[in-house]
Structure 1
Amino acid sequence: MKIFKSLAFFLYILAFVFFCDVTYADQNLDSPEEYIQLIGNKTLGVLDREDYTSIEKIDQISKILTANLSVKRIAYFVLGPYRKNLSLVESERYINLVKRFISEVYAKRLLSYSHGIINVKNSKDRGKLGIIINSSITFADNPNPIRIDWWVIENNLGQLKVFDIRVSGVWMAQEQRSTFTAFLSKNNGSINKLMQRMEVQLE
């Protein structure tokens, strides 16, 4: 059972958009659409850097992902009702496992992807819940654009973070939540068994 299958694709798409930690104030941005477009353009350029070694790209991408995703919020969300079973000690280990997957597994996969172009279309403000940004990404080796909807939230420092992404009508973090909770329901809600399974997949 590949418990990270959905999350892997979710994170795979995300890296094409987020290259650095940016706030509206830092970049004098007028809209969230402009934010996504600006960061997307910078990120896509990394794949074309011939002066970067594979190791350098992996290192940069790892830092990019952990800095710009709402990792802790996503990690807790996908546990669903089983979050209450997570102890303080387990919480630290669990968050670190999610970060490891992002940095060790995903970053390496990204290197095989071709250059892409992001086209940001519009957004919908959902108040305290965040902003939904509509876009499409066209990759060099695939002429058919992929429809992507971004659920962006703002943290208490005023920084934009991605909480979820919808691809072909499916919210990826919510789908991952279904996968995690299904695993936990078959294992007496054991967070420890879930983490053991995660560690096996990270080997």
Structure 2
Amino acid sequence: MTPFTFMRSALAPLAFSFALATAIVTSGAPAQAADADPAAEKFVTDVSGKAIDIISDKSSDRAAREAAFGKLLSENADMQKIAVFALGQFRTKPDEAQRAEYLKLFDNFVVKVYVTRLSDYHNEKLVITGSGPAKGGAMVQSQINFTTGREPVKINWWLFKNGDTYKVFDVNVAGIWLAQEQRSAFTSVINNHGGDFNALLTHLKTQIANAESGKGSSAAAN
């Protein structure tokens, strides 16, 4: 993996933790456009609020926060669709047992790696700036405002819709689609091991172990 790819793949969980789990949604968004989707905006507002409540609960230990965050993701993000998407051209590679193990590891990987990094950020504010239709559902625009005076970071939320239910599929932070970046990282692991799908399973186990031991800074890349 090139240094550039390493840096971008490492950014994905870091940026997603900004977008999903350190956001406090504030009022004062611009007036609604004609094709705006207030329901989608409310969905992002609610998910962000629940996430920050979970991470900010200092009365709970890490295991409890991880369990709550995992439940939030399972209810509000299409984790299986994201996991399959992240396999790219290798989506049909695993056999039934490997696929089942991968889906379980993927969920665990996302929760542990992201929750590990959340303690690095505080007092950020996520502001909804607009919304509109997108393939499969809706796109919600927002930005993170920093209390330090740092320039705001723009975030787009790609939501899939099934009936009246929204699910997060991907998040674009500063121009980077995070599920696509994770796909690049995962397929690189498999390619670098001659197409051996078990190498990805080992990779995920290693990153989970790193997160559990506090080595979150390298947890998304290899």
> Normalising to structure 1: TM-score of the pair?
0.79
Aligned-pair CA distance for 1:88: 1.3
Q: How does 1:10-159 map to 2 (within 5 A)?
A: 10-12=15-17, 13-16=19-22, 30-49=38-57, 52-55=59-62, 56-127=64-135, 129-141=136-148, 143-155=150-162, 158-159=164-165
Letter in 1 for 2:155: I
> Normalising to structure 2: TM-score of the pair?
0.73
Aligned-pair CA distance for 1:45: 4.1
How many matched pairs?
Answer: 190
User: Distance between the aligned counterparts of 2:89 and 2:99, measured in 1?
Assistant: 15
User: Distance between the aligned counterparts of 1:142 and 1:102, measured in 2?
Assistant: 29
Name the SS of the counterpart of 1:188 in structure 2. coil
Check 1:9–1:135 CA distance in 2 against 1; reply closer, same or farther (3 A cut).
Answer: same
Check 1:100–1:33 CA distance in 2 against 1; reply closer, same or farther (3 A cut).
Answer: same
User: Distance between the aligned counterparts of 1:102 and 1:174, measured in 2?
Assistant: 14
User: Distance between the aligned counterparts of 2:74 and 2:44, measured in 1?
Assistant: 17
State the identity as a percent: 27
Residue 182 of structure 2 corresponds to residue 176 of structure 1: yes
Name the SS of the counterpart of 2:194 in structure 1. coil
User: Distance between the aligned counterparts of 1:135 and 1:173, measured in 2?
Assistant: 18
> Is the CA contact 2:20–2:47 (under 8 Å) kept in the aligned structure 1?
no
Aligned-pair CA distance for 1:98: 0.8
Check 1:46–1:89 CA distance in 2 against 1; reply closer, same or farther (3 A cut).
Answer: closer
User: Distance between the aligned counterparts of 1:10 and 1:189, measured in 2?
Assistant: 29
Aligned-pair CA distance for 1:145: 1.7
Aligned to 1:198: 204
Check 1:86–1:45 CA distance in 2 against 1; reply closer, same or farther (3 A cut).
Answer: same
> Is the CA contact 2:47–2:76 (under 8 Å) kept in the aligned structure 1?
no
User: Distance between the aligned counterparts of 1:38 and 1:68, measured in 2?
Assistant: 10
> Is the CA contact 1:114–1:139 (under 8 Å) kept in the aligned structure 2?
no
Letter in 2 for 1:8: P
Check 1:104–1:95 CA distance in 2 against 1; reply closer, same or farther (3 A cut).
Answer: same
User: Distance between the aligned counterparts of 2:101 and 2:9, measured in 1?
Assistant: 17
Q: Which runs of 5+ in 2 are unaligned?
A: 25-36, 210-222
1:167 to 173, 177, 180: 173
Aligned to 2:191: 185
Residue 13 of structure 2 corresponds to residue 5 of structure 1: no
> Is the CA contact 1:120–1:134 (under 8 Å) kept in the aligned structure 2?
yes
Aligned-pair CA distance for 1:122: 1.3
Structure number with greater CO (CA < 8 Å, separation at least 6) is 2
User: Distance between the aligned counterparts of 2:9 and 2:204, measured in 1?
Assistant: 8
Check 1:62–1:4 CA distance in 2 against 1; reply closer, same or farther (3 A cut).
Answer: farther
Letter in 2 for 1:187: H
